[in-house]
Chains A and B, each alone.
Chain A
Amino acid sequence: MIKEIHQKLVDREITATKLISSYFEVIKEKDSQIKAFLTLTKDQALEQAEKIDEKIKKGKKINILEGIPYAVKDNMLVNGVKTTAGSKILANYTASFDATVIKKLKEQGAIVLGKTNMDEFAMGSSTENSAFFTTKNPYDLERVPGGSSGGSAASVASKMSVFALGSDTGGSIRQPASFCGVIGFKPSYGSVSRYGLIALASSLDIIGPLAQSVEDAEIIFKSITGKDQMDSTSYNLEKIHNTPYRIQNTVFGLPKEYFQERLDDKIKKAIEEVIKKIKSQGATIKEVSLPSTSYALPCYYIIMPAEASSNLARFDGIRYSPMNNYPNLHDLYFKTRGEGFGAEVRRRIVLGTYVLSSGYYDAYYKKAQQVRRLIAKEFDKVFQKVDFLITPTSPTFPFKIGEKIDDPLSMYLSDIFTVGANIVGVPAINLPCGQAGNLPINMQIIGPYLSDFSLLNITKTIEDIIL
Chain B
Amino acid sequence: MDFTEIDHLLKLARIELSSQEKERIALDLENILDYVRQLQKVNTNGIEPMTGGTLLENIYREDKIDKQKQNVSKELKESASSLKDDYFKIPPIF
Binding site for B on A (CB under 8 A): 93-94, 96-97, 189-190, 203-204, 229, 232-233, 235, 292, 294-295, 298-299, 301-302, 309, 313, 316, 318-323, 325-335, 337-339, 341, 343, 346-347, 349-351, 353-354, 357, 363-364, 366-374, 376, 408-409, 412, 422, 424-425, 449
Contacts and interface: CB of A to CB of B under 8 A. Distances in A.
Given A190-B53, A319-B79, A408 B28 contact: yes
Contacts of A94: 79
B53 A189 contact: yes
Given A96-B76, A346-B15, A369-B50, A364 B36 contact: yes
B13 A353 contact: yes
Contact of B81 (A321, A347, A354): A321
Given A295-B38, A301-B32, 6 more contacts: A233-B54, A295-B42, A326-B91, A333-B14, A337-B15, A371-B42
Given A318-B88, A319-B79, A370-B47, A357 B12 contact: yes
B91 A328 contact: yes
Contacts, number: 163
A432 to B, nearest CB: 27
Contact of B17 (A338, A370, A424): A338
B48 A373 contact: yes
Interface string B78-94: 11111000001011111
A397 B88 CA distance: 49
Contacts of B48: 370, 373
Contacts of A335: 16
B80 A337 contact: no
B65 interface: no
B31 interface: yes
B36 A371 contact: no
B88 A319 contact: yes
Contact of A354 (B15, B24, B29): B29
A351 B56 CA distance: 29
Nearest to B42: A371
Contact of B25 (A347, A363, A371, A409): A347
A402 to B, nearest CB: 17
B19 interface: no
A113 to B, nearest CB: 24
B20 to A, nearest CB: 12
A13 B75 CA distance: 41
A332 B90 contact: yes
Contacts of A330: 93
Nearest to A345: B15
Interface string B30-51: 0111011111101010011111
29 contacts: A189-B54, A203-B53, A204-B53, A232-B56, A294-B38, A295-B38, A295-B42, A298-B35, A313-B14, A316-B14, A318-B81, A318-B90, A319-B80, A327-B91, A328-B94, A329-B91, A332-B90, A334-B15, A343-B21, A346-B25, A350-B29, A353-B9, A354-B9, A370-B50, A373-B50, A374-B42, A374-B44, A408-B32, A424-B53
Given A190-B53, A335-B16, A373 B47 contact: yes
A331 B91 CA distance: 9
Contact of B39 (A232, A233, A298, A422): A298
Contacts of A322: 81
A320 B14 CA distance: 17
Nearest to A373: B50
Contacts of B72: 96-97
Nearest to B79: A96
A347 B28 contact: yes
A240 to B, nearest CB: 11
B7 to A, nearest CB: 11
A371 B76 contact: no
Given A295-B39, A369-B49, A350 B10 contact: yes
A301 B37 CA distance: 10
Contacts of A337: 13-16
A393 to B, nearest CB: 20
B65 to A, nearest CB: 14
A220 to B, nearest CB: 21
B15 A349 contact: yes
B64 to A, nearest CB: 12
B53 A302 contact: no
A309 B39 contact: no
A60 B11 CA distance: 61
Given A233-B52, A408-B32, A292 B92 contact: no
Most buried by A among B42, B79, B88, B91: B91
A370 B81 contact: no
A330 B16 CA distance: 10
